[in-house]
């Protein structure tokens, strides 16, 4: 019987910890390595250091069985490992280019501690051409090391990270080394086999339960979901996929502005447009725009790497511009309906960049709250999960509330800035008596207009 490879996951963020917890539950011995001792201590205690539905249960089970070994030590983990997945962050520099300092530093620590035969797998999103430079760097740091390098971009979505890792819609692997590539595919084949046998009803978290019911497991045989390709192609798949999704949202927002002027309803329009199988309905959602730890930096990273290759991408420049305009578009809606914004009391509901996560990186909701404050409004804000995380980016004059009711109490206008279920399911009819004004902006087009109107508000969506 073939023995299972020992795995190290370097970087225990959204991607790394989710992957580590799933692999450990699937029976692999997994070192979860991070430079941040606080994060490692939390993982050791059987918990995730960030909010992601269902993940705590996976982490605690993996730690209990002894399969998940959290550590800050590269010396303890890397020499024992046959495969190491690099999952460190790749934020953007102030000029929009990708900051690869963590990638290089992790590669160096791996190179210094690895034993011959190790397969280094890059899961982090890196600009096309990085893999080859990293291979040269590893060879420079450890000239005698025999290693293989595989690009394996990650496609999980925060908010359903666990489900996506169990139910991979695709596995993209790129390498010059076919044998290494097969080793990586066999790890994911084992995860796919493990995922088939999970009883999702055993998990208490409603998001994991819901998502497995709403998004059924892929019926396409696993082998047809594996895409083997060249190293550079794999690197380019990931950023191109995110760029295309960002384009779809910005396109919907452009048409939404036209719909507003022409008395059309963007949801009706996109239902018609998206029913064409060549286009598809997903991501044709008008709203406050895209944010988060991936789209903004992947799009700006693509623009900047394309520039390096001498290829202008005006289509992506336009998508960024359209996205940036959406915060002002919502502020203007509020200003117009109130006849001014100074001293107006505005309740901003939602601060995370999307529901189901406490991630506030480049959150449009936070930008909106800050912009409203800048324009003179008195702003209160509430988020079901991201209050602590939001504090750093939120203007300190924006008051944080402990609940929806506290936030909207005595406000002149309400804006739903993140489409959390909590806001959709709220009883707006009984809440209305506590609210001063009747302006209600659904900046994510996520509520039923008729219900909000029946509750006594003037409903305004985006493009409708």
Ligand X SMILES: NC(=O)c1ccc[n+]([C@@H]2O[C@H](COP(=O)([O-])OP(=O)(O)OC[C@H]3O[C@@H](n4cnc5c(N)ncnc54)[C@H](O)[C@@H]3O)[C@@H](O)[C@H]2O)c1
- Regarding 88 and contact with ligand X (CB under 6 A), the answer is yes
- Regarding 34 and contact with ligand X (CB under 6 A), the answer is yes
Whose CB is nearest to ligand X?
Answer: 13
- Regarding 16 and contact with ligand X (CB under 6 A), the answer is yes
Among 100, 106, 327, 394, which residue sits at the site for ligand X (rule: CB under 6 A)? 106
Among 4, 5, 27, 35, which residue sits at the site for ligand X (rule: CB under 6 A)? 35
* Segment lying near ligand X (by CB under 6 A), choices 104-112, 114-122, 133-141, 341-349: 104-112
Are 286 and 266 a contacting pair, CB within 8 Å? yes
| Separation of alpha carbons 355 and 261, rounded Å | 29
**Between helices 231-262 and 295-308, what is the axis angle to 10°?**
120
Indicate the SS3 state at residue 86.
strand
Are 24 and 67 a contacting pair, CB within 8 Å? yes
Minimum distance of ligand X from residue 394's CB (angstroms): 19
Site map 320..359 versus ligand X, x via CB under 6 A = ----------------------------------------
| Separation of alpha carbons 325 and 288, rounded Å | 9
Site map 264..293 versus ligand X, x via CB under 6 A = -----------------------------x
Our CA angle for 235, 187, 51, nearest 5°, is 75
- Regarding 156 and contact with ligand X (CB under 6 A), the answer is yes
| Residue 430 CB partners (closer than 8 Å, separation 6+) | none
Among 40, 119, 147, 154, which residue sits at the site for ligand X (rule: CB under 6 A)? 154
Minimum distance of ligand X from residue 451's CB (angstroms): 32
Minimum distance of ligand X from residue 351's CB (angstroms): 17
Residues noted as catalytic: 294
Among 8, 9, 23, 39, which residue sits at the site for ligand X (rule: CB under 6 A)? 39
- Regarding 188 and contact with ligand X (CB under 6 A), the answer is no
- Regarding 124 and contact with ligand X (CB under 6 A), the answer is yes
Looking up tokens 């280019």, which residue turns up? Answer: 97
- Regarding 33 and contact with ligand X (CB under 6 A), the answer is yes
Minimum distance of ligand X from residue 31's CB (angstroms): 11
Among 73, 105, 186, 430, which residue sits at the site for ligand X (rule: CB under 6 A)? 105
* Segment lying near ligand X (by CB under 6 A), choices 9-17, 250-258, 322-330, 397-405: 9-17
Beta bridge mates, 147 = 118
- Regarding 87 and contact with ligand X (CB under 6 A), the answer is yes
Return the H-helix or E-strand segment holding 241: helix 231-262
Minimum distance of ligand X from residue 109's CB (angstroms): 6
**Between helices 295-308 and 314-338, what is the axis angle to 10°?**
140
The first and second tokens of residue 400, run together, are 């944080």
| Separation of alpha carbons 396 and 375, rounded Å | 15
- Regarding 90 and contact with ligand X (CB under 6 A), the answer is yes
Cβ proximity to ligand X, 158 vs 383, nearer residue = 158
| Separation of alpha carbons 294 and 125, rounded Å | 9
Got the DSSP string for 409-458?
Answer: TT-SEEEE-S--HHHHSS-HHHHGGG-S--EEEETTS-S-HHHHHHTT-E
How close are the terminal C-alpha atoms of the chain, in Å?
A: 61
Beta bridge mates, 10 = 33, 86
Distance of CA 455 to the CA centre of its chain: 33
Count of positions on this chain that bind ligand X (CB under 6 A):
27
- Regarding 102 and contact with ligand X (CB under 6 A), the answer is yes
Binding site for ligand X (CB under 6 A): 10-16, 33-36, 39, 87-90, 102, 105-106, 109, 124-125, 154, 156, 158, 293-294
């Amino acid at each position: 019987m073939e023995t299972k490879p020992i795995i190290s996951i370097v970087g225990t963020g959204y991607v790394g910890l989710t992957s580590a917890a799933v692999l450990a539950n699937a029976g692999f011995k997994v070192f979860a390595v991070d430079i941040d001792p606080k994060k490692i201590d939390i993982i050791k205690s059987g918990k995730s250091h960030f909010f992601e539905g269902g993940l705590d249960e996976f982490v605690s089970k993996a730690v209990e069985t002894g399969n998940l070994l959290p550590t800050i030590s590269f010396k303890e983990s890397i020499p024992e490992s046959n495969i190491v997945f690099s999952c460190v962050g790749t934020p953007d520099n102030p000029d929009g280019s990708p900051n690869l300092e963590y990638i290089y530093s992790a590669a160096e620590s791996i190179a210094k501690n690895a034993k011959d035969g190790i397969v280094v797998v890059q899961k982090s999103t890196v600009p096309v051409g990085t893999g080859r430079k990293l291979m040269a760097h590893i060879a420079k740091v450890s000239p005698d090391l025999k290693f293989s390098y595989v690009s394996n971009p990650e496609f999980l979505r925060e908010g359903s990270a666990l489900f996506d890792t169990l139910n991979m819609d695709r596995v993209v692997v790129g390498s010059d080394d076919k044998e290494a590539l097969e080793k990586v595919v066999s790890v994911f084949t084992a995860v796919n086999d493990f995922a088939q046998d999970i009883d999702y009803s055993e998990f208490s978290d409603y998001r994991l339960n819901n998502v497995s019911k709403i998004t059924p497991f892929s019926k396409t045989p696993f082998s047809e979901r594996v895409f083997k390709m060249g190293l550079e192609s794999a690197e380019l798949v990931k950023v191109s996929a995110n760029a295309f999704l960002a384009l779809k949202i910005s396109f919907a927002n452009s048409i939404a502005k036209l719909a507003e002027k022409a008395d059309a309803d963007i949801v009706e329009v996109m239902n018609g447009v998206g029913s064409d199988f060549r286009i598809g309905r997903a991501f044709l959602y008008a709203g406050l725009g895209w944010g988060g730890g991936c789209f903004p930096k992947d799009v700006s990273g693509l623009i900047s790497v394309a520039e390096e290759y001498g290829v202008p991408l005006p289509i992506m420049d336009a998508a960024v511009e359209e996205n940036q305009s959406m915060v002002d578009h919502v502020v203007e809606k509020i200003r117009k309906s109130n006849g001014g914004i100074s001293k107006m009391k505005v309740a901003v509901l939602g601060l995370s960049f999307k529901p189901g996560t406490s991630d506030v990186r480049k959150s449009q909701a936070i930008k909106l709250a800050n912009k409203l404050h800048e324009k003179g409004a008195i702003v209160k804000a509430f988020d079901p999960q991201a209050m602590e995380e939001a504090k750093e980016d939120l203007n300190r004059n924006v008051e944080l509330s402990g609940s929806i009711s506290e936030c909207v109490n005595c406000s002149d206008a309400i804006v739903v800035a993140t489409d959390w279920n909590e806001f959709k399911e709220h009883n707006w009819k009984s809440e209305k008596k506590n609210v001063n004004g009747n302006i209600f902006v659904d900046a994510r087009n996520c509520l039923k207009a008729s219900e909000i109107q029946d509750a006594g508000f003037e409903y305004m969506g985006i493009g409708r």
